[in-house]
Amino acid sequence: MRQATAAVLMLAALALAQPAQLGPRPFYLLDRLEPGPLRDRLAACAAGTEAYPRSPLAIGHRGAALFFPEHTREGYLAAVRQGAGFVECDAVPTVDGALVCRHSDRDLAETTNILSTPLAAKCRKPFRPGRKPDCRTTDLTLAEFLSLEGWPEGHDERARKPEDYYRAAPAWRTLAYSPGTVMSHRRYIELLKPTGVNFIPELKKADLPPGLSLEAYRRRIVDDYRELGVPPERVYLQSFDLEDLRFWRRYAPEYAANAVWLDGRYKERGFDPAHPERLEPTMEELAAEGLRYLSPPLWVLLALDDGGEIVPSAYARAARKAGLELVPWTLERSGPLSSGGGWYYQSIGAAIHSDGDVYRVLDVLVNEIGVYAIFSDWPATVVFFDRCGR
């Protein structure tokens, strides 16, 4: 066990020592960007020979989830190697109270191989053709969870066999790097601590197991960093629940200083990023209570002007005027952008025609809005833009 741990730490240290390894994707996207000043600027920089440094602008969303199973050791290390300045772990509890990295407490059937293991017997709804299984992290012990393999997110309810259900990621993802090694929250910390990257853990809403109170759940995510000796300035706690952030300010103000509120108000009836003055709390009220970082979906920060050009939304302008730093999500999560980009680009879909338009979006986010950092399923794209697009 000690030898295995030493090997993991050595890999993490190597990832820090080397320049960012961008791979071909940022340049594939550049080839598809329409001709113009932005493409000329990026292409001139890309032709240089200087190394790409680690970027504080790039957040590895669940690791490097475009081509690696989310929240796995392999995806986390890929994000570090690509030069991400942050790597995310969504934290949910196991039945024995440990935290593990999962986007949801109910996604095991879609993101792991649980259906092909004896642990399938613990699913609340077992696999049946034509029906969605219900397999929860909160019903497993930490040891049971760590026995699973991570798989790219996807499912096929028409599958006749359990293994075909979870091996159904969208066609634009590849299974070349499957399966992956699932991670506890503490293993995520131990893996990334030597690399120098920042941690951005999210406390997920979950059905808590018996014996774990909400207060204890909120404390545990902080205590893991304290106990493992991570400096507060490297930790950016995040949640959709403002009450979580308020609790952390009371319980651990040093770790709450960089807390990020994931703004879920886009789900509310009547939400309109063109009218931020209607929001409660207002931007000014959020800033007054000590919030520094606000994290909405990409589309909330973007709008089209009368000429059809991408511009900052009124929401973005109001947040920056109030002194709030913006951390949008999620780049590189929509698949091919040939038909408007889908949900993440809904406010500017008429201007999105090709994969290269991701750089037009980054140009507005970075150079006009001045976002603090950007969640991305392939952080190398943001690392390249940070070096060449400013």
Total count of domains within the chain: 1
Mean pLDDT over 377-383 rounds to 97
Confidence category of residue 51, pLDDT binned at 50, 70, 90: confident
Question: Looking at residue 168, what is its pLDDT?
Answer: 78
Give the whole-angstrom CA distance, residue 208 versus residue 80.
Answer: 31
Average pLDDT in the 53-57 region?
Answer: 95
Please state, in angstroms and rounded to a whole number, the distance separating the CA atoms of residues 75 and 73. Answer: 6
Residue 14: per-residue pLDDT: 56
Instruction: Please determine, for residue 364, whether its predicted confidence score (pLDDT) is greater than 60.
Output: yes
Alpha helices for the chain (secondary structure H): 2-17, 25-31, 37-46, 73-81, 108-111, 142-146, 162-166, 185-192, 214-227, 242-251, 253-256, 283-288, 314-321, 357-363, 380-388
Task: Please report the pLDDT score of residue 335 as a whole number.
Answer: 86
Please state whether beta strands 293-295 and 260-262 pair in parallel, antiparallel, or not at all (unpaired): parallel
**Residue 123 pLDDT > 60:** yes
What is the per-residue pLDDT for 4? Answer: 52
Structural domain for 380, as ranges: 2-388
Rounded to two decimals, what is the model's pTM?
Answer: 0.94
Say if residue 3's pLDDT is above 60: no
CA-to-CA dists, residue 204 to 24, 103, 104, 237, 327, angstroms: 33, 8, 7, 11, 18
Assign residue 115 the CATH number of its domain.
3.20.20.190
In tens, the pLDDT along 63-75 reads: 999 989 999 999 9
Q: Mean pLDDT, to the nearest integer, of 162-183?
A: 77
Q: Which band of pLDDT confidence, cut at 50, 70 and 90, is reported for residue 171?
A: low
Instruction: Collect all residues with Cβ–Cβ distance below 8 Å to 306 and sequence separation of at least 6.
Output: none
Q: What stretch of H or E contains 57?
A: strand 55-60
Average pLDDT, the chain: 93
pLDDT for the residue numbered 177: 64
